[in-house]
């Protein structure tokens, strides 16, 4: 039988926490943007905002020591 590493325990814990978070945020929310309005689950909205922020940070990331 394989030994379970600390990294595997942390990964499993994070996955369990994310699953709990997802199941607790399945309620639909109304989103209004300019002239548009639509409903979607809160967990989807959170994921969209997370990925938009992630990709925005990747685009505008400046390396140290680099002149603008």
Sign of the CA dihedral with 53 first, then 55, 59, and 65 last: positive
pLDDT tens, position by position, 1-55: 578 889 999 999 999 998 898 888 889 999 898 999 999 998 888 888 889 998 9
**pTM, full prediction:** 0.63
pLDDT surpasses 90 at 68: no
DSSP 4: P
Per-domain residue ranges for the chain?
A: 6-59
pLDDT surpasses 90 at 66: no
Taking the C-alpha atoms of residue 48 and residue 46, their distance in angstroms, rounded to an integer, is 6
Q: Which residue, among 33, 68, 26, has the nearest Cα to 47 in the 3D structure?
A: 26
Taking the C-alpha atoms of residue 40 and residue 27, their distance in angstroms, rounded to an integer, is 8
């Amino acid at each position: 039988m394989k030994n379970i590493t600390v990294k595997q325990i942390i990964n499993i814990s994070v996955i369990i926490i994310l699953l709990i978070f997802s199941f607790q945020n399945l309620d639909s929310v109304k989103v209004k943007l300019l002239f548009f309005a639509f409903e979607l689950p809160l967990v989807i909205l959170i994921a969209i905002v997370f990925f938009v922020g992630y990709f925005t940070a990747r685009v505008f990331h400046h390396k140290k020591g680099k002149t603008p």
